[in-house]
């Protein structure tokens, strides 16, 4: 082979590697790429250790039930997974019912807009996003409704990412992000015109604690909507396969314990809410929310190769490979939960704070 052929072959391989690692697989139009995967606020040399600490939590289940332990547990999880979620999934860390002939992005946006439509807020209203992540839903909801949205997340790295995205979208004047615990929020009582949580309160060790805080910060008469992760009426605690599936979801998503669908309204009423409406948005005629996971299996394998190569080259922290593998396995448990109907990530509850409440 002559020098020109060697040079051409090497250049082609180099370009192919660059395309495979830096371009292919990114779910964002702008921003995160594979070469920028990190452990969030965790230094690169500590990612592996933090991942091991995360898993050790499940070997001491009583600690998961302790409220003061859970915030650090959830914070560690989102340091580990945030970049991977953004790279492979996008800026909205939640599921949505599939829509015939529509993209996943369109379905996600419709699911988010539906939440704020239920709140019946007007442009300029002051609403809360309890558990905002990197702010995908916040930006969609602000654009759709014209409301001013304040999001709260326990993870400092997500605050940084959300603020960057808000500025890129030109929504930094309409969307504000605060680092804090939604079990003890730094907001005045009766200060919001509405509130929502999209697949976030599942991280609370006791649902009544986060519902009580949301109740406190809402104005009398204001509405709150939540999409809850729950086991359904089909779940059987004496079925080993059901138990394995639910525990797999809990371990792979930093959940102190999934609640049953029939507990949600009871808890809402216990803290003072009036329950306006309750519905599992995953039930027919809604399209399967887990189809995105099944269709993405090839992408998961492709991305795992990318992550492994980046870690081998020293570009990504070595612990990221273990985190990505954990998420890949969790996707299987989530799919099983959806196909069997024993789990839903979108049990919707719409509540109102009574006009007479303080």
Q: What is the pLDDT along the chain (358 residues), one digit of tens a residue?
A: 555 555 444 444 444 444 444 444 444 444 567 778 888 999 999 999 999 888 887 765 555 555 567 888 899 999 999 999 998 889 999 999 998 888 889 999 999 999 999 999 999 999 999 999 999 999 999 999 999 999 999 999 999 999 999 999 999 999 999 999 999 999 999 999 999 999 999 999 999 999 999 999 999 999 999 999 999 999 999 999 999 999 999 999 999 889 999 999 999 999 999 999 999 999 999 999 998 887 666 777 777 788 888 888 888 888 889 998 999 899 999 999 999 999 999 999 999 999 998 7
Half-sphere exposure of 66 (CA within 13 A, CB side): 10
Who contacts 91 (Cβ-Cβ below 8 Å, separation ≥6)? 28, 133, 134, 135, 136, 139, 165
3-class DSSP state for residue 287? strand
Q: Which of 114, 164, 298, 95 is nearest to 306 (CA)?
A: 298
Q: What is the 3-state secondary structure (H, E, C) of 72-113?
A: HHHHHHHHHHHHHHHHHCCCCCCCCCECCCCCHHHHHHHHHH
Output the CA angle 163-116-339, nearest 5 degrees.
95
Per-residue pLDDT at 4: 52
Half-sphere exposure of 65 (CA within 13 A, CB side): 5
Residue 120: left if φ>0, alpha if ψ -120 to 50, beta else—which one? left
Per-residue pLDDT at 316: 85
What is the enclosing helix (H) or strand (E) of 185? none
Per-residue pLDDT at 198: 98
Per-residue pLDDT at 18: 47
Q: Where do runs of H (alpha helix) occur along 120-178?
A: 136-145, 156-168
Q: How long a stretch of residues is the chain?
A: 358
Per-residue pLDDT at 26: 43
Domain coordinates in residue numbering, the chain: 104-238+255-286+343-352
Q: Report whether 193 contacts 127 (CB < 8 A).
A: yes
Per-residue pLDDT at 249: 96
Structure tokens at 169: 């979208």
CA 242 to chain centre: 23
Q: Which CATH number fits domain 104-238+255-286+343-352: 3.20.20.140, 3.40.50.2300, 3.30.70.890, 3.40.50.150?
A: 3.40.50.150
Query: DSSP character for 176?
Result: E
Per-residue pLDDT at 69: 73
Distance CA 342, CA 330 (A): 15
Residue 56: CB atoms within 10 Å: 10
Distance CA 110, CA 81 (A): 25
Distance CA 119, CA 353 (A): 12
Phi, psi of 169 (to 5 degrees): -80, -5
Structure tokens at 136: 């995908």
Distance CA 38, CA 15 (A): 23
Distance CA 236, CA 109 (A): 33
């Amino acid at each position: 082979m002559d020098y020109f052929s060697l040079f051409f072959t090497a250049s082609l391989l180099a370009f192919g590697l660059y395309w495979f690692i830096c371009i292919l697989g990114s779910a964002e139009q702008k921003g995160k790429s594979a070469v920028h995967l990190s452990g969030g606020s965790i230094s690169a040399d500590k990612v592996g250790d933090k991942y091991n600490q995360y898993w050790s939590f499940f070997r001491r289940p009583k600690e998961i039930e302790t409220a003061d332990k859970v915030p650090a547990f959830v914070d560690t999880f989102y340091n580990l997974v945030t970049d991977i979620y953004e790279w492979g999934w996008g800026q909205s860390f939640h599921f949505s019912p599939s829509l015939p002939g529509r993209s996943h992005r369109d379905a996600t946006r419709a699911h988010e807009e539906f939440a704020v439509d239920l709140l019946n807020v007007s442009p300029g209203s002051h609403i809360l996003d309890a558990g905002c992540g990197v702010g995908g839903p916040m930006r969609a909801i602000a654009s759709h409704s014209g409301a001013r949205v304040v999001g709260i997340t326990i993870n400092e790295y997500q605050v940084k990412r959300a603020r960057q995205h808000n500025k890129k979208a030109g929504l930094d004047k309409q969307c504000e992000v605060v680092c804090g615990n939604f079990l003890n929020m730094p907001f005045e009582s009766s200060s919001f015109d509405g509130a929502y949580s999209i697949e976030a309160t599942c991280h609370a060790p006791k649902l009544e604690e986060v519902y009580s805080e949301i109740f406190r910060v809402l104005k009398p008469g204001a509405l709150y909507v939540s999409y809850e992760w729950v086991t359904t009426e089909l779940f059987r605690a004496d079925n080993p396969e059901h138990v394995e599936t639910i525990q797999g979801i809990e371990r792979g998503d930093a959940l102190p314990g999934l609640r049953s669908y029939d507990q949600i309204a009871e808890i809402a009423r216990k803290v003072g809410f009036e329950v306006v409406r309750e519905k599992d948005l995953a039930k027919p005629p809604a399209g399967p929310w887990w189809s995105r996971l099944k269709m993405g299996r090839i992408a998961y394998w492709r991305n795992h190769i990318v992550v492994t190569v980046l870690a081998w080259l020293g570009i990504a922290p070595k612990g990221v490979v273990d985190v990505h593998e954990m998420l890949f396995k969790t996707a299987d448990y989530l799919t099983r939960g959806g196909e069997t109907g024993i789990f839903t990530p979108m049990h919707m509850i719409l509540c109102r704070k009574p006009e007479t409440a303080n």
